[in-house]
Amino acid sequence: MQPLAVCDYNLIVERLGELNAYADGETVFVSQRMMEFSRSDNELAVVVGHEFAHNALGHVDSQQDNRRAGAIVGLILDMAAIAAGASTGGEFAKLGGDIGSDVFSQEFEAEADYVGLYATARAGYDIDVGADFWRRMAAENPDAITYASSHPTTIYRAAALDQVVMEISDKKRVGLPMEPEFLP
């Protein structure tokens, strides 16, 4: 295959048996298992579009900022405990960082689904497969996308994706630009 440069994000396929894909702000990672699980290029494009959107929307940086802010609050509590004569071993800072990283996680996932479907549609892929793909993903690996603290539930995600597909289809039908209704 010859790579085609269309954006500034790298795409790396990891030789992992885990059914996963993720973004780090600069790169999109897709596991070999995810590629095997995808029944078509369209399904794989929905996954890559979702991760691309995380990068484009700056979600990784925002999540790291939230983690740092939570850790600072926790550190203040650790220092207060030390001043009172108790040592926490930095546990409040760790807990605060963990809580901070989960702030807006569901919203980030929903935004990435929304903007990712637009990116995928604009790239010429069939996005009608998106909701069913996530339903199949949930059935195959329920723990991967049902942890409601960081990801929308599968039922919510599938319903939201169906709505985005209808929104994009309506725009295509009447000749409107295929652009998301919001850009953060």
Does an H or E element contain 172, and which? Answer: helix 154-174
Going edge to edge, which strands form the sheet with 27-31? Answer: 10-14, 27-31, 21-23
Token look-up 């069939």 returns 126
The pair of structure tokens assigned to 5 is 């440069």
Tens place of pLDDT for every residue, the chain, 184 residues?
566 555 677 888 999 888 889 998 889 999 999 999 999 999 999 999 999 999 888 877 666 666 666 667 666 776 777 888 888 887 767 776 666 555 557 788 889 999 999 999 999 999 999 888 888 887 887 665 544 445 556 677 788 899 999 999 999 999 999 888 876 5
| Structural domain for 135, as ranges | 10-173
Specify if 129 maps to a domain: yes
Specify if 57 maps to a domain: yes
Strand partners, 11: 28
Specify if 2 maps to a domain: no
| Whole-structure pTM value | 0.72
Q: What is the model's pLDDT at position 178? A: 87
